[in-house]
Structure 1
Amino acid sequence: MPEIRLATFNCENLMMRCDFARSGLANARSRLTDVDSATVAEQVDAVFDVLSEDDRTLTAQALAATHAEVCALQEVENLVTLTAFDNRYVSRWAGRPFGERVLHEGNDSRGIDVGLLSALPVVFQRSHARATFGSLGIAPVRGATVNDYVFRRDCLEVDVQKEGRRLTLFICHFKSMHGGRRRTAAVRHAEAVAVREIIRRRFDRPQEAEWVILGDFNDYWEVDGRSTRPHGLEPLIADGFAVDLASRAISDPYDRWTHHYSGDDTYGALDHIFLSPRLAALNPSAEVEIVRAGAPYRAERYDGIRFPGVGWIEPKASDHCPMVTTLKFEGRVAAP
């Protein structure tokens, strides 16, 4: 039975900008596009200026520290940025780049998308960024119509392959809490319903299939063991549709946090790895590791070793911490 080392990480504004003056490319703006093969990132070594060299170095260190074969990423600008980050930063700390990169343009007004880095072959990929409330048969949230997109970013559906077997991942980044957690919960609830419907359409018997939903869901149902209901993730967990791995694997509720909000000093579990019931049953003892060595020092609950260069607020790897696990899966036999 194959094993996969799987991580999720919100990189916090993983953006790069082209320095047209130094690139020497008269048509650089037209060449560096999201549908580009991303070879330009290799061909022109001086094109990219990272928004923060220190932050991106720490981001790569945190990602490398997961030792993941496959990593779901959130807040990535485009495919060219993802390629440059993999080749220039991750490879320095992991010893080699992941190699496989997947990103489709989503709906976020800031241009931050969900993506994937994989050392395993990606044999299927599909974006659901253009899924509407009407196309999925979901009641629109207040202020929306049946023709509006459900996802604030995307639900990226990907199959990875190992030892001739395929495992399906659904990578998400739900609506932020900007505007108030309770006021925005309905949007995340609709996104969760949409993910559930997408899985139902993909698999005849979802409960018996093997799949993972992972990413930044911008919501939680408890903080340090205290219930925070209502929340927007009920459709994923309320009736056992999926199993939240961290809640099962980490017994201490004070140790499940992946994000620190300094405004009210909340340590929340915004990042999740949800397993199908079948996959959860195959991995009764699966552990979860949360890599906090790149967190800023103002996240004082973490008193472990940090990467050199981390500051009180900045530099930092991200405002989120990567989460990683190792899973066994039977999967589906890959097509010849």
Structure 2
Amino acid sequence: MPELRLATFNCENLMMRCDFARSGLPNARDRLTEVDDALVAEQVDAVFDVLSEDDRTLTAQALAATGAEVCALQEVENLVTLTAFDNRYIAPWAGQPFGERVLHEGNDTRGIDVGLLSRLPVIFQRSHARATYGLLDIAPPPGASVNDYAFRRDCLEVDIQKDGRALTLFVCHFKSMHGGRKRTAPIREAEARAVRRIIEQRFDRPADEEWVILGDFNDYWEVDGQSVSPHGLGPLLDDDFAVDLASRSIPDPFERWTHHYNGDGTYGALDHMFLSPRLAALNPAPEVKIIRSGVPYIADRYQGFRFPGIGWKIPKASDHCPMAATLRFEGRDVSL
């Protein structure tokens, strides 16, 4: 049975700037979103700079510390950015770049997308950024119509292959809490319904298949063990549709946080891995690790090792912590 080291990480504004004149490529700026143009990505990488050298170095260190073979990422600007980050920042800390990179342009007005880095073959990929509430046959949240896109960014569906077996991942980044957590919860709940519907359309019997929903869901149902409601993640948790890995694998509720909000000091679990019931049964006690070495010192609940260069608020790896887990899976046979 294959084992997979899987991680999710909101990189916080992994965006780029580029000297397009020096790139020597015609229409380079317009071609940055052509996600299949690997040559453009590699060539533009030569004149790429990240907005903060310190932050991006720390981001790479945090990601490398996961030891992941596959990492779902959030807040990545485009494929060129992802390529440059992999080659210039990940490779020195992890020993080599991931090599496989997946990103499709989503719906976010800031241009931040979900993506994937993988050392394993990606044998299937599909964006759901253009799925509407109507197409998915789900009710829109208040103020939206059936013609609106269901996802504020995307739900990226990928199949990863290892040892001739395939595992399906759904990478998400739900609506932020900007505007108030309770007020925006219905939007995240609609996104959760959309993810569930996509899985139900993919698999006739979702509970009997092996899949993971992972990413930044911008919501939580408990803080330090105390229930918090309302929240927008019910469709993924209700009737045991999926199993939250951290809640089951990290007994101490004070150790499940992945994000520190400076505004009110909340330590919340915004980043999740939801396993299908079958995959959860195959992993009754998996190793789950939240890497906090890149958080700024203002998050003073954490008293452990920090990477050199971390500041009080900045520099930092991100405002989120990467989460990693080692999972066994049987998967689907794709060796033939």
TM-score normalized by the length of structure 1: 0.97
Give the aligned partner of residue 316 of structure 1: 316
CA distance 1:238–1:135, shift in 2 (3 Å): same
**Cα distance in 2 between the residues matched to 1:160 and 1:45:** 26
Deviation at 1:142, TM superposition (A): 1.1
Task: Say if 2:122 and 2:159, in contact at 8 Å, map to a contact too.
Answer: yes
**Cα distance in 1 between the residues matched to 2:223 and 2:63:** 25
- Within a 5 Å distance, the mapping from 1:124-135 to structure 2 comes to 124-135=124-135
**Cα distance in 1 between the residues matched to 2:130 and 2:335:** 27
Give the aligned partner of residue 198 of structure 1: 198
Give the aligned partner of residue 7 of structure 1: 7
Give the aligned partner of residue 211 of structure 2: 211
CA distance 1:277–1:45, shift in 2 (3 Å): closer
**Cα distance in 1 between the residues matched to 2:128 and 2:44:** 32
Q: Is 1:73 equivalent to 2:73 in the alignment?
A: yes
Give the aligned partner of residue 292 of structure 2: 292
**Cα distance in 2 between the residues matched to 1:150 and 1:32:** 25
**Cα distance in 1 between the residues matched to 2:264 and 2:271:** 19
Give the aligned partner of residue 246 of structure 1: 246
Give the aligned partner of residue 101 of structure 2: 101
Which segments of 5 or more consecutive residues in structure 2 lack a partner in the other structure?
Answer: none
Give the aligned partner of residue 56 of structure 2: 56
Give the aligned partner of residue 153 of structure 1: 153
CA distance 1:246–1:49, shift in 2 (3 Å): same
- Per-residue CA deviation, residues 171-195 of structure 1 (Å, 9 max, x unaligned), is 0000000000000000000000111
Matched letter for residue 47 of structure 1: V
- Which piece of structure 1 moves more, 88-97 or 33-42? 33-42
Deviation at 1:31, TM superposition (A): 4.2
Give the aligned partner of residue 43 of structure 2: 43
Aligned length: 336
Q: Is 1:188 equivalent to 2:168 in the alignment?
A: no
- Within a 5 Å distance, the mapping from 1:215-234 to structure 2 comes to 215-234=215-234
Task: Say if 2:221 and 2:228, in contact at 8 Å, map to a contact too.
Answer: yes
Q: SS of the counterpart of 1:139? A: coil
- Per-residue CA deviation, residues 210-234 of structure 1 (Å, 9 max, x unaligned), is 0000000000000001110110001
CA distance 1:103–1:302, shift in 2 (3 Å): same
CA distance 1:3–1:187, shift in 2 (3 Å): same
CA distance 1:204–1:31, shift in 2 (3 Å): closer
Task: Say if 1:34 and 1:80, in contact at 8 Å, map to a contact too.
Answer: no
Matched letter for residue 309 of structure 1: G
Deviation at 1:30, TM superposition (A): 3.7
Give the aligned partner of residue 144 of structure 1: 144
**Cα distance in 2 between the residues matched to 1:294 and 1:232:** 28
Q: SS of the counterpart of 2:239? A: coil
Which segments of 5 or more consecutive residues in structure 1 lack a partner in the other structure?
Answer: none
Q: SS of the counterpart of 2:274? A: strand
Task: Say if 1:36 and 1:80, in contact at 8 Å, map to a contact too.
Answer: no
Q: SS of the counterpart of 2:167? A: strand
**Cα distance in 1 between the residues matched to 2:330 and 2:206:** 15
Q: SS of the counterpart of 1:83? A: helix
- Within a 5 Å distance, the mapping from 1:266-277 to structure 2 comes to 266-277=266-277
Matched letter for residue 91 of structure 2: S
**Cα distance in 1 between the residues matched to 2:194 and 2:45:** 41
Task: Say if 2:136 and 2:197, in contact at 8 Å, map to a contact too.
Answer: yes
- Cα-Cα RMSD: 1.2
Q: SS of the counterpart of 1:238? A: helix
- Within a 5 Å distance, the mapping from 1:25-40 to structure 2 comes to 25=25, 27-35=27-35, 37-40=37-40
**Cα distance in 2 between the residues matched to 1:45 and 1:196:** 37
Give the aligned partner of residue 19 of structure 1: 19
Deviation at 1:22, TM superposition (A): 4.1
TM-score normalized by the length of structure 2: 0.97
Matched letter for residue 254 of structure 1: F
Give the percent of matched residue pairs that are identical in Structure 1 and Structure 2.
79
CA distance 1:45–1:262, shift in 2 (3 Å): closer
